[in-house]
Amino acid sequence: MAMKSALKAIRERGLGTFFRELKEEGFLRALLDGNLMSLSLLLQTKLHNRGATLVGVDKFGNKYYEKLEGTQFGRHRWVEYAEKSRYNASQVPAEWHGWLHFITDHTGDELLMLKPKRYGVEHKENLSGEGEEYIYHSKGHALNPWQRDWSRYQPWQPTKTE
Amino acid sequence: MGLGLLASRAMRPLRNSHSSVFLRTIVSKPELQSAESSAAAQAPPEPDLPPRTPVGGARIHFPNPEDAIEVFVDGYPVKIPKGMTVLQACEVAGVDIPRFCYHSRLSIAGNCRMCLVEVEKSPKPVASCAMPALPGMKIKTDTPVAKKAREGVMEFLLMNHPLDCPICDQGGECDLQDQSMAFGSDRGRFTEMKRSVVDKNLGPLVKTVMTRCIQCTRCVRFATEVAGVQDLGMLGRGSGEEIGTYVEKLMTSELSGNVIDICPVGALTSKPFAFKARNWELKGTETIDVTDAVGSNIRIDSRGPEVMRIVPRLNEDINEEWISDKTRFCYDGLKRQRLNDPMIRDADGRFKAVTWRDALAVVAEVALQAKPEEIVGIAGRLSDAESMMALKDLLNRMGSNNVWCEGTGTQPSADLRSGYIMNTTISGLEKADVFLLIGTQPRVEAAMVNARIRKTVRANNAKVAYIGPATDFNYDHQHLGTGPETLTELAEGRHPFCSAISNAKNPVIIVGAGLFEREDKDAIFATVEAIAKKHNVIRPDWNGLNVLLLNAAQAAALDLGLVPESTNSIESAKFVYLMGADDVNLDKLPNDAFVVYQGHHGDRGVYRANIILPASAFSEKEGTYVNTEGCTQQTLPAVPTVGDARDDWKIIRALSEVAGLTLPYDSVGGIRTRIRTVAPNLLNVDEREPATFGPSVKPEVTGKMDTTPFKSAVENFYMTDSITRASKIMAQCSAMLLKK
Amino acid sequence: MLARLAAKRLLEIRQVFRQSPQASRSFSTALNYHIDSPDNNPDLPWEFSEGNKAKVKEILSHYPSNYKQSAVIPLLDLAQQQHGGWLPVSAMNAVAKVIDVAPIRVYEVSTFYSMFNRSKVGKYHLLVCGTTPCMIRGSREIEDALLKHLGVKRNEVTKDGLFSVGEMECMGCCVNAPMITVADYSNGSEGYTYNYYEDVTPKRVVEIVEMLRRGEKLPPGTQNPHRIKCGPEGGNTTLLSEPKPPSCRDLDAC
């Protein structure tokens, strides 16, 4: 299937354009990794994006595509992650989440205008499993190095000795 | 349904005569055919209410049984004594009438109008708090008239009340919130601007948000009637009306914190507690207060490991429903200056934290090296009976009998219980008509006793005479003199006040425990007893000779017999065990003496200490205390103790084991069994044990009274013990309120 | 349509908020709390004058000795007359001492009654009736005329200290509306007068003010020359004969 559509793409746009696109999209980096799995996935994404409209790019570089013709309804919006090797769903920021999951037809760029400037928190991806130092700990968490002092009394300091 | 109901009503007489079987088929409504709806239609005319119990356990006291009258509350007959108000009658009948301005311990104002009820044959709803109940009155509390009246009043009250419940400290325990939920409407018709009122500065304890005030005047009446400071008043009129002091004035009363409790809205709230916690987050622990000898019943509200606030608990016999400011606001002292690790002073005079094992080993070693007569143990003013018992047992096992409690003086006499407790009882003071205060200033020594005296002075026009240094009272008093010579005059009948005492029906003499410290205390007490005898103060039905103690530990210490063997043991001591004793004079202590300080605060005591053993404070342990009237009460732990601190008696028990003199108990139950053999009254919790023998069995005293005038026992009301001295709020109070 | 309504509503809301923050109309000349100032603070000495001390004694004699506090209103009135029409804090404290109550009890009374002025007023304190009958008959214009003539705002004293204008509620002479009251504090409590001037017009009040300024006496009562007291203009129109006894009762029989 993938092979078939790849051939179709080469036939439509020419081999040169096809490889240039692949290079731009980190194909070579994936090749150097030696990770054939990600290489094939990348290739698959590239091919899948054909004929789709790029609706927007968020500030992390994730690309959001939509294709209404020739796709099954419900599969007509997708994201191409900027991070090609270690991507996960939490890299989609909140403003694009709604569009991507058909909650709203407003794109992330539109919804970003509603974000309060003063107290809107920056999106952070979920770094579970990446190591303790990446994980957010609440202010009282035992692993938080800046853990708040929960002792509710002041001890007597034996400074004023006679 | 309406038609069916009417039809069934019309049928009722017929149905009652058992002839309704075919008539029922006439009714075309199908729901009436079912069994339950016909049962509903047959409901008896009187509503089937559960049997009623008086609100809040209201007790009825009939002074004359023939004065009882009968009224009907919602159709229920109740017997009440003559002179009760309609509201009280409703409470006896188990109907809680909403109210804001009415307070059972204050005079009746009748200005909030929330307590409107319908009374049969009355053209308008009546304010039940101000209306005396009359025989045969038919009171209706849940009729449409009453409900509409309350709803209207509530709408008026909410007109100028801000909608700031989310940021209001009263939120969750607010009478206005509760009652507007229960009796108010869900909307108001007021569309104008709400008024705003300038906040008043009432001092470091009471925070005011005057815009929230609903003008119930409870605080004004409390200040005037109970606290005795006429500072608050109702200023202005109409919608410009406000509570205030007019001129800038702080509320300098020792009971000012109680206005926080009686304020039905969030206009008067606690300044130290402001924005600290919500009341539904708090865990309440019913315990007692130890900052003075009254033993006020309190509830410690805590969140996690932290005491958030202290509020009073109702106890008619001791503190009614008030507590003093010291009791209420000392709690921040529990969080400061705490001793949390055992510490040993090393060679260069610095304290070093050590483990319990090491600390106890050092103490045991030094104690076993000291000669028995060189060992001294002093219990502090906040000590509980269990730890004092353990201390005495331990020192007795070491061979020493030099154990006493600070504040009981050099030669306390624990032989006659009547010689150190309040024989009249605190509530018994209300029957008195003449007070003679000797060397005591109850306003600073025991604010709750002073409130009781003031109540009596207001109610019975009781006369108060005072002997001691000039001080301010919040009631009328005669200052007879400053020292023992006035006592002599009274004893010999030369003083003009003698006639007042001898003419009195129930005279009361209160002697301050500050006199215990005097060398000539036996002679003074003998003179006081002579006065009592001469003026018939002690009768079979009335014992008016009282001692007002200063510290929470005193009565229990004397009950347990913590009396030193020799008067000057401290001068030759080599090993001193201070169990929370901070106010004991250690100037005469030899320099090579080894001092163990066991306590919860780094206060005066630690500076001479060689070793510090951290103990838990009264809010963290279960302990027995006896108050000044001889009533045994127990504290309960509200919060966990801090750091490595332990209960006092556990430390002593552990020390006894390390020293090889193991005490024969290892639980609170065990130690109480031991106490039973010494002072069984300490186990009858919440009961007052009267003294058995009066002073008549006392041996003759030969000493003479010194002529030095009496001194005041408490210099600063706000700072009397290690907890209150550590408290920032108390320091603020003494800086702002006590400056002359 | 909806947008226009919303915009209109917004405008209304704005107008509501633009109004003065004082929600209630206060007739009192001062705030409900005291602010220390050089001429009004508790440290200033204040005592009843020798002549008034006798009056104080006389006032107190009207009340039982255990209810001395009942004399608070007459005593405050006397103190106000003595102090040129207003009550400083020290005067209230003096009254509290005379009747043996806490000062706050006196403050409560003096803040309640709008006729006790707790801030400075002129020697002639002019009070314009503002209740409905007078308002309908033009009391607003009268007040405006007074304020404009004297060049002050309400409850403000003129520079020479002679006049101040206040508002008062119904003085009970609605038949001769509109009317003003002149409280004359220029001669202390001995020469104190409190006179009604009825049927006034904007022109007439200015004349009254000028006459007061010149120290002339003018007859109180209606200022309409065609009226006698509160009778109708130009003489009686009814009740021209002796009134008949009521027909329902035989008065002689009882």
User: How many Å lie between the alpha carbon of B248 and the closest alpha carbon of chain C?
Assistant: 7
| Amino acid C254: pLDDT | 58
Q: How far is CA B159 from the centre of its chain?
A: 36
Q: Residue B393 CB: number of other CB atoms within 10 A?
A: 23
Q: What does DSSP assign to residue B224?
A: I
Nearest residue in chain C measured CA to CA from B246: C33
Q: Which two tokens stand for residue B492?
A: 């010999």
Nearest to B701 by CA among B533, B524, B531, B545: B524
Considering only CB atoms, which chain A residues are within 8 Å of B304?
A: 152
B436 pLDDT higher than 80: yes
Does residue B30 contact residue B4 with C-beta atoms inside 8 Å? no
E-assigned strands of B74-191?
A: 76-81, 116-119, 126-127, 138-140
The answer to whether the CB atoms of C28 and B230 lie below 8 A apart is no
The mean pLDDT of chain C is 86
Q: What is the mean pLDDT of residues A67-89?
A: 88
Q: Which two tokens stand for residue A57?
A: 């790019």
- pLDDT category at A96 given cuts 50, 70, 90 is very high
Distances (CA, A) of C29 to B244, B303, C61, C156, C221: 18, 50, 31, 9, 26
- pLDDT category at B507 given cuts 50, 70, 90 is very high
- When CB atoms are compared, the residue of B338, B601, B607 closest to A162 is B607
The answer to whether the CB atoms of B246 and C105 lie below 8 A apart is no
Q: Which residue out of C22, C108, C112 would a mutagenesis test of the B interface target, given it has the greatest number of B Cβ atoms within 10 Å? A: C108
Q: Which two tokens stand for residue B15?
A: 């149905």
The answer to whether the CB atoms of C104 and B231 lie below 8 A apart is yes
| Amino acid A22: pLDDT | 61
Q: Is the ipTM of this complex over 0.90?
A: no
- pLDDT category at B508 given cuts 50, 70, 90 is very high
The pLDDT tens digits for A24-64 are 655 556 566 656 666 677 778 878 888 899 999 999 999 99
**Model's pTM, two decimal places?**
0.81
Q: Which two tokens stand for residue B214?
A: 């609903």
The answer to whether the CB atoms of A161 and B335 lie below 8 A apart is no
B486 pLDDT higher than 50: yes
User: How many Å lie between the alpha carbon of C44 and the closest alpha carbon of chain B?
Assistant: 14
Considering only CB atoms, which chain C residues are within 8 Å of B245?
A: 33, 104
Distances (CA, A) of B410 to B377, B403, B515: 13, 11, 11
The pLDDT tens digits for B158-204 are 999 999 999 999 999 999 999 999 999 988 899 888 888 999 999 99
| Intra-chain end-to-end CA distance of chain B, in Å | 76
Considering only CB atoms, which chain B residues are within 8 Å of A154?
A: 335-338
B247 pLDDT higher than 50: yes
Kindly state the percentage of chain B with pLDDT values over 70: 92
Quick check: B337 contacting A, CB < 8 Å? yes
Chain A: touching chains (3 or more CB pairs < 8 Å): B
| Amino acid B438: pLDDT | 94
Can you tell me the distance from the alpha carbon of B499 to that of B496, in angstroms, rounded to the nearest whole number? 6
B10 pLDDT higher than 50: no
Q: Which two tokens stand for residue B668?
A: 């609170």
- When CB atoms are compared, the residue of C32, C34, C104 closest to B242 is C32
The answer to whether the CB atoms of C108 and B234 lie below 8 A apart is yes
Can you tell me the distance from the alpha carbon of A159 to that of B10, in angstroms, rounded to the nearest whole number? 91
Beta strand B206-208 pairing with B138-140: unpaired
Beta strand B206-208 pairing with B126-127: unpaired
Identify the contact set of chain C against chain B, taking CB-CB distances under 8 A: 16, 19, 21, 23-24, 26, 28, 32-34, 36, 42, 89, 101-105, 107-108, 111-114
Kindly state the percentage of chain B with pLDDT values over 90: 70
Lowest mean pLDDT of A25-29, B516-520, B586-590, name the range: A25-29
For chains A and C, tell me whether 3 or more CB atom pairs sit within 8 A of each other. no
Q: Which two tokens stand for residue B44?
A: 């008896």
Q: Which two tokens stand for residue B145?
A: 């008239």
The mean pLDDT of chain B is 88
The answer to whether the CB atoms of B340 and A160 lie below 8 A apart is no
User: How many Å lie between the alpha carbon of A149 and the closest alpha carbon of chain B?
Assistant: 13
- State the amino acid at position C169 in one-letter form: E
The answer to whether the CB atoms of B235 and C107 lie below 8 A apart is yes
User: How many Å lie between the alpha carbon of A162 and the closest alpha carbon of chain B?
Assistant: 7
| Amino acid B37: pLDDT | 43
Q: Which helix (H) or strand (E) holds C126?
A: strand C124-129
The pLDDT tens digits for C18-41 are 544 443 345 566 788 898 999 899
B583 pLDDT higher than 80: yes
Quick check: A162 contacting B, CB < 8 Å? yes
- pLDDT category at B664 given cuts 50, 70, 90 is very high
∠ Cα B366 B371 B375 (to 5°): 70
User: How many Å lie between the alpha carbon of C249 and the closest alpha carbon of chain B?
Assistant: 32
Considering only CB atoms, which chain A residues are within 8 Å of B341?
A: 155
Lowest mean pLDDT of A5-9, B718-722, C220-224, name the range: A5-9
- pLDDT category at B599 given cuts 50, 70, 90 is very high
Q: How far is CA A60 from the centre of its chain?
A: 7
Distant-in-sequence, close-in-space partners of B258: CB < 8 Å, separation ≥ 6: B222, B226, B227, B312, B322, B323
The answer to whether the CB atoms of B198 and C107 lie below 8 A apart is no
The answer to whether the CB atoms of B235 and C33 lie below 8 A apart is yes
Q: What is the mean pLDDT of residues B307-317?
A: 94
C136 pLDDT higher than 90: yes
Q: Which two tokens stand for residue B500?
A: 């007042």
| Amino acid C3: pLDDT | 64
Lowest mean pLDDT of A25-39, B532-546, B721-735, C37-51, name the range: A25-39
User: How many Å lie between the alpha carbon of B38 and the closest alpha carbon of chain A?
Assistant: 54
- pLDDT category at B29 given cuts 50, 70, 90 is very low
Nearest to B455 by CA among B426, B422, B479, B497: B426
Beta-carbon contacts below 8 Å between B and C: 69
| Amino acid B517: pLDDT | 87
Does residue C251 contact residue C245 with C-beta atoms inside 8 Å? yes
| Amino acid C196: pLDDT | 93
| Amino acid C15: pLDDT | 57
Q: Residue C122 CB: number of other CB atoms within 10 A?
A: 25
B16 pLDDT higher than 70: no
Q: Is B77 helix (H, G, I), strand (E, B) or coil?
A: strand
B325 pLDDT higher than 90: yes
The pLDDT tens digits for C105-129 are 999 999 999 889 999 999 999 999 9
| Amino acid C6: pLDDT | 64
Considering only CB atoms, which chain C residues are within 8 Å of B235?
A: 32-33, 107-108, 111-112
C230 pLDDT higher than 90: no
The pLDDT tens digits for B372-403 are 989 999 999 999 999 999 999 999 999 999 99
| Amino acid C24: pLDDT | 39
User: How many Å lie between the alpha carbon of C216 and the closest alpha carbon of chain B?
Assistant: 37
The answer to whether the CB atoms of A155 and B643 lie below 8 A apart is yes
- pLDDT category at B22 given cuts 50, 70, 90 is very low
The pLDDT tens digits for B66-92 are 788 999 999 889 889 988 999 999 998
Nearest residue in chain C measured CA to CA from B232: C104
The pLDDT tens digits for C184-193 are 998 888 889 9
